[in-house]
Amino acid sequence: MIIFGASISPFVRKAVAFAREKGIDIEHRPVPPHADDEDFKAASPFGKIPGMIDGDYYLADSTAIIHYVEAKHPDPALIPNEPQARGRVIWFDKFADTILVGGPAGTIFFNRVAAKFFGVEGDLAAADTAEKEGLPPVLDYLEGAIGNRDWLVGDTLTLADIAVAGPFKNLEYANTVIDWDAYPETKAYVDRVLARESFAELLAMDQAMVGG
């Protein structure tokens, strides 16, 4: 299996870390969006990252790739079968994609860091507003959702944790100011998830890219 996309993208980071938690042998090719690579273009028809090839099977979108991997490699289960737990895990995956990354985390990271990779001027005022006004309600929610538990859903790591913790690295790369004293559970949780071996190589690649 080949997964395409630079891991600085939280969507790529999620898909690759998920596959690595499964212990399967994947090749990670860290291409940028719209890369002029025939295999990548076949996998991701609109040029977004990540894309995936498994034999003669092609797929785009982090969530689609993750559900494919879960179905093909059910052990260890990272998406529970129990209905309520499964619903919660999918909610947190959507929360990460649409409310965290699709909201303040994406605005901050794009305007402070990613814009220059696309050769455009970042809107720094929009990033500041997202940091001061957009992020706190999202962190308030997360702090309550985590409580004093190790994982967001159930007693083991799930897709929910991989999806939610990953974008915090983008906030860090964008030098986001977070009052961590107000969010001690979130801080411990994010550190716990991102310390997993499945993230190690990805985060080292990111550091090389953002120059940290």
Ligand X SMILES: N[C@@H](CCC(=O)N[C@@H](CS)C(=O)NCC(=O)O)C(=O)O
Q: In angstroms, give the least distance from the CB of 144 to ligand X.
A: 25
| Cβ-based nearer residue to ligand X, 62 or 183 | 62
**Helices 197-210 and 184-194 sit at what angle, rounded to 10 degrees?**
100
What SS3 state is found at 54?
strand
Specify burial of residue 179 (Cβ count, 10 A radius: 0-12, 13-18, 19+). Answer: exposed
Q: In angstroms, give the least distance from the CB of 49 to ligand X.
A: 4
| Cβ-based nearer residue to ligand X, 49 or 193 | 49
Binding site for ligand X (CB under 6 A): 9, 11, 33, 47-50, 61-63, 97
| Cβ-based nearer residue to ligand X, 33 or 104 | 33
Cα 7 from Cα 17, distance rounded (Å) = 10
Q: In angstroms, give the least distance from the CB of 31 to ligand X.
A: 10
Please give the angle made by the CA atoms of 186, 9 and 70, to the nearest 5 degrees. Answer: 80
Q: In angstroms, give the least distance from the CB of 103 to ligand X.
A: 14
| Cβ-based nearer residue to ligand X, 47 or 136 | 47
Q: In angstroms, give the least distance from the CB of 177 to ligand X.
A: 22
Task: Tell me the chain's radius of gyration from C-alpha atoms.
Answer: 17
Q: Which of 197, 172, 162 is nearest to 12 (CA)?
A: 162
| Cβ-based nearer residue to ligand X, 3 or 194 | 3
